[in-house]
Amino acid sequence: MRKLAVIEFVTLDGVMQSLGSPDEDREGGFEYGGWSAPYGDEVLGRVAGEGLAATAAYLFGRKTYEKMAAHWPHEPDTNPIAAHLNATPKYVVTKTLTRVEWAGSHMLGGDAVASVTDLKQQGDGAIAVLGSGVLVQTLIEHGLVDEYRVFVHPLLLGTGKRLFRETPRPIPLRLTGCTPTTTGVLLLSYEPEPR
């Protein structure tokens, strides 16, 4: 069975909203978009590259998919992130989309839990979830996450959508990796403890 890894950039207070650009996600009146920009460095780039090499498929919720599909197909393949995203199979959990146009994209309709469970049983290599906060909550609730890769930034925003919300029960995790960057970001990896 393939591993499913949730990969998220968060602030120290857990905010995941609109990390990339000021207008990425203003839902709820969020005004701090683009907060992750000052924190990039060689360490972060190297770890991101290693993550790309281990990823055989991407899984998105509808909102994140639409934002990604509007941006990445227009980036040149000289950008290694664009090259990987554009060439790798992408799956979107949706009840509202009727088609997907980003090359290599597939819709997972119906029951999200059943669809993702089936996806994990097909093929080889890791499935990476980027962003997709609502979907991530469902995956956590149903025990479908095999690894959390959380890039914790030294920043408190005090407002915004958070990665970890209410869970139906405690979920003990085991630290499997911790790498600091030169800008103070901690690259943390966790796996859920067996139940």
pLDDT tens readout for residues 97-116: 999 999 999 999 779 999 99
**161: Cα separation from own chain's centroid:** 14
pLDDT digits (tens, 9 = 90+) for 32-46: 999 999 999 999 989
**pLDDT on residue 37:** 93
pLDDT > 90? residue 23: no
Homologous superfamily (CATH) of 14-192 is Dihydrofolate Reductase, subunit A (3.40.430.10)
User: Where do the structural domains in the chain lie, given as residue ranges?
Assistant: 14-192
- Phi, psi (5° rounding) for residue 15? -75, 130
Overall pTM surpassing 0.85 (yes/no): yes
Q: Where are the beta strands (DSSP E) in 43-185?
A: 55-61, 90-93, 105-108, 126-130, 147-153, 173-180
CA distance 188 to 14: 13
User: Are the CB atoms for 57 and 91 separated by under 8 Å?
Assistant: yes
